[in-house]
Structure 1
Amino acid sequence: MARRARELLLLVMLGASVPAVAGLFSDDEARARIQALAQENQKLREDLKALEERVGRLDAQLRAQGLIDLVQQVEGLKAELAKLRGQLEVNSHAVETLDKRSRDLYVDLDDRLRKLETGATPLAAPAAAAAGTPGAATDTGAESRAYEAAFNLFKIGNYQAAIAAFENFLKTYPASPLAANAQYWIGNSYSALRDYKTAIAAQQKLLSLYPNSAKVPDALLNMASAQTELGDRATARKTLEDLVARYPTSPAADIARKRLSSLK
């Protein structure tokens, strides 16, 4: 009897504990699922982060490719600019060379004309000197040396000093047969200094004071060059046409004809 009572009591106790055990297993399963979901979410977050990083890298690559294209275009423009700059330097050098050669030719021509005018000797002495007047030949030699000194300054490119020397020559020897030449080289010196307005004024003074000089055609040509440099192409054309009309057989007229064709 006592044994049966104990067995019944044990069965009651076991029955009472079954729901608790069942509840215990349900909680564990829930926690397991939560943990599984948490792990899955973590993996999703990692995958999402990896995907975002990949998208970021792809975006950066696309942007970089776009920049590379721009850089290539810029480099191409730089190369073209360098080529143009090089060509400009070549052209500028050619212009300077031609300009110098032109000045050298005029210098040489001036030398030859001056020697023809003076007989390749110091300027001819006046009648007083021929009669034996003391100091006359010396004065004539000083005149020739003064012009030569000013002309040498021009030839070496010292234009400011050449202008001063030629102006001093004109003050000292206003009636010299080389006065028109001196006035011409004053104007040419101003052109070389790119003072074109003053160059034009100097050559106009030559035309006014020495209208019959052999230097008039050259003075007109120099004026036209200065007018062109100032952007006054219409006046330059008129000056060149005047030169060709008045002095058609002069060397300056040949140059003027070529310039007129380029001004069309």
Structure 2
Amino acid sequence: MRGLVPLVALLALPTMASAQLFGGGETQRQVAELREQVNQRLEATSSAQFELASQNELLRAEVARLRGQVEVLMHEFEQLRVRQRDFYVDLDDRLRRLENPGGAQASGGGGDPATEAAEYEAALNLLKGGQFREAMLAFEAFTSAHTASAYLPSAFFWAGNAALQAKEVSAAANHFNTVLARWPSDTVAADAMLGLANSQQALGDGRAAQRTLQAVVERYPDSTAAQAARQRLGMR
């Protein structure tokens, strides 16, 4: 019997060691909880990474959209710069041809020629300086103050150009129409008709603009305005 006791004790050791090692059900529960916590953290990490990746993708898309807008704005700015440059080139060309309209040295209405010339030149300088609204008002004041001036056709013409640049499109059309109605044979008439076409286009009346361009070609075929009208109409 005494020999059996050590043997039983030895057989019990693995069971005791196992119980001590795993701590029974409590240890297994703790291990399960740890596993659950690890899994939850892994899931949370994966979710955060997915959300971050989604946000990065949205940011990339937004950056691409903004770059596209910047490119469009740069293109529009370049077009505006070219149009502005062309306007001033055309303006300088017209000024060289029209600075002394009709060779007039005196007012047809008995006014002071020097005063008329000074006021006319001052309005032109406003226009050349890009002060379009101020130039429009100056030319309008000139046409009211000097109703018999030899500068009058050109003053109405430049008032129309200044008004068009100042986005006073209806006023521009009225000034150009005044030139055409009162001085259809003046040196500014062809350019005034071209300006009227530009005003009609700006007012959204494309058909009227086309008809006016055609009229420029028919009435003033040898003018620079007719050349511009032909280009607009796709004619040679």
TM-score range, shorter chain: 0.7 to 0.9
TM-score (norm 1): 0.67
Task: Say if 2:136 is the partner of 1:157.
Answer: no
Aligned twin of 2:13? none
Aligned twin of 1:124? 105
Q: String of CA shifts for 1:185-235, please: whole Å, max 9, x gaps.
A: 212222212222332233223222322223233223333333333443333
Cα distance, 1:62–1:247 mapped onto 2, change above 3 Å: farther
In structure 2, distance between residues paired with 1:216 and 1:151: 18
Aligned twin of 1:105? 89
Q: Report deviation, 1:126.
A: 7.5
Aligned twin of 2:12? none
Please give the residue correspondences for 1:16-95 in structure 2 after superposition, counting only pairs within 5 Å. Answer: 39-95=23-79
Cα distance, 1:118–1:203 mapped onto 2, change above 3 Å: closer
The alignment partner of 2:112 has SS state of helix
The alignment partner of 1:234 has SS state of helix
Which stretch of the first structure deviates more once superposed, 198-207 or 153-162? Answer: 198-207
Task: Say if 2:120 is the partner of 1:140.
Answer: no
Aligned twin of 1:173? 146
Q: State the identity as a percent.
A: 27
Q: String of CA shifts for 1:143-191, please: whole Å, max 9, x gaps.
A: 1111101111111122222122111211222232321221122122222
Task: Say if 2:98 is the partner of 1:114.
Answer: yes
Aligned twin of 2:220? 247
Unaligned runs of 5+ in 1: 1-31, 128-135
In structure 2, distance between residues paired with 1:190 and 1:54: 75
Cα distance, 1:118–1:228 mapped onto 2, change above 3 Å: closer
Q: Which has the higher contact order (CA 8 A, sep 6+)?
A: 2
In structure 2, distance between residues paired with 1:157 and 1:115: 18
Aligned residue pair count:
216
Please give the residue correspondences for 1:191-206 in structure 2 after superposition, counting only pairs within 5 Å. Answer: 191-206=164-179
In structure 2, distance between residues paired with 1:151 and 1:202: 16
The alignment partner of 1:226 has SS state of helix
In structure 2, distance between residues paired with 1:51 and 1:79: 42
Contact 2:180 2:189 (8 Å CA) reproduced? yes
Residue identity matched to 2:31: D
TM-score (norm 2): 0.74
Looking at CA atoms only, which structure, 1 or 2, has the larger radius of gyration?
Answer: 1
Unaligned runs of 5+ in 2: 1-15
Task: Say if 2:209 is the partner of 1:236.
Answer: yes
